[in-house]
Amino acid sequence: MKIAISGKGGVGKTTIMALLANHLKERGKDILIIDADPSPHMAETIGVKDVEKITPIAEMKTMLVERSGKTEGSPFYNINPQVDDLLGRFMVEHDGMKLMVLGAIQEANGGCACPENTVLKRLLTTLLLSPSQVVLLDMEAGVEHLGRGTIATVDQLLIVVIPAQSSVRTALKVKKLAEESGIPRISFVGNLIQDQEDKDFLTENLDLPPIAFFPDSTLIRKTERRGDPIIKANQDMEDAVRELQAHIPGLS
Ligand SMILES: Nc1ncnc2c1ncn2[C@@H]1O[C@H](COP(=O)(O)OP(=O)(O)O)[C@@H](O)[C@H]1O
Ligand SMILES: [Mg+2]
């Protein structure tokens, strides 16, 4: 099972993905999180101590070019770069979960054929998963910087949306792009929900009702400000994360 998360910047993608990862881990799933955000902070969110020791794969330019770059004189990229060893080399294990930091995918017109993307695509397509294994892909806002072929390899896209017009607009745009990419299942997830009116606003303004609503949590805010891992402050979020799991086919 491969799940990606998207939505406007700051809506809570990393927070929700970390909570889902922790919840699934506690239920016996084998978790690999791939942080593909150009400003990665999944490591802090799940409480990795030596964050600075993690090397994002994207910073290993020479290696990436070797793996996926054009060979001299050829107009073609190597679409099958060798990536089997990358998991072992770049993965950190923390609290029973595996994390790999990809780093920035350089954008290019019309989806990108850059080495980072080629390597991510190859990673996602080569990972053959048993039912107990779940790959969670944390990304930047949209899906447009990933080529069709990369993002289409995920089984489910979660689009995080908060009760604000601008967030709804982004969410609808991302959904359209994701549909065009051929992602089999796309769902909205509400965040920063304070009351029924917030839920109604999202349900009325989106073209699909959100599959889970995460509350606006003082505990999460305080924990984040203290610099503590937010997955340890999940008390307010337990119902929502359970609801989320229940609505993702293949996860229960
Ligand atoms: N449900 C919530 N309640 C309170 N604070 C939240 C909630 N979700 C996210 N946050 C806070 O909002 C900020 C942005 O969240 P983050 O998950 O990093 O967003 P994104 O990954 O979409 O950029 C963080 O400081 C996080 O702690
Ligand atoms: Mg994030």
Any ligand 1 atom below 6 A from CB of 6: no
Cα→Cα distances 113→135, 183, 251, Å: 22, 19, 32
Question: Is-contact 33 136, C-beta < 8 A?
Answer: yes
Place of tokens 């809506």: 11
Pocket of ligand 1, candidates 5, 8, 15, 194: which has the most ligand atoms within 8 Å of its Cβ, to mutate? 15
Cα→Cα distances 172→5, 42, 116, Å: 14, 25, 27
79 has pLDDT over 60:
no
Phi, psi at residue 4, to the nearest 5°?
-110, 155
Any ligand 1 atom below 6 A from CB of 221: yes
Any ligand 1 atom below 6 A from CB of 25: no
Tokens of 132: 């107990």
Any ligand 1 atom below 6 A from CB of 167: no
Least confident residue range of 34-43, 170-179, 192-201: 34-43
Dihedral, 121, 241, 232, 33 alpha carbons, nearest 10 = -10
Q: If you average pLDDT over every residue of the chain, what do you get? A: 84
Residue 230 CB contacts under 8 Å (≥ 6 apart), including other chains = 15, 18, 19, 45, 220, 223, 224
- What pLDDT, in 10s, does the model give residues 132-164? 889 999 987 666 655 556 677 889 999 999 999
Q: What is the pTM of this model?
A: 0.88
Confidence band of 109 (pLDDT split at 50, 70, 90) = very low
Interatomic CA distance for residues 160 and 55, integer angstroms: 27
Cβ atoms within 10 Å, residue 119 = 24
Confidence band of 14 (pLDDT split at 50, 70, 90) = very high
CATH fold, domain 2-246, is Rossmann fold (3.40.50)
Question: Is-contact 164 147, C-beta < 8 A?
Answer: no
What is the rounded average pLDDT of the residues 14-18?
96
Any ligand 1 atom below 6 A from CB of 14: yes
What is the DSSP pairing of strand 30-35 with strand 91-94?
A: unpaired
What single DSSP character describes residue 65? H
Least confident residue range of 25-34, 94-103, 204-213, 238-247: 94-103
Interatomic CA distance for residues 132 and 157, integer angstroms: 19
Q: Using the mean position of ligand 2's atoms as its centre, give its distance from the Cα of residue 177 in Å.
A: 20
CA-closest candidate to residue 20, choices 223, 199, 190, 234: 234
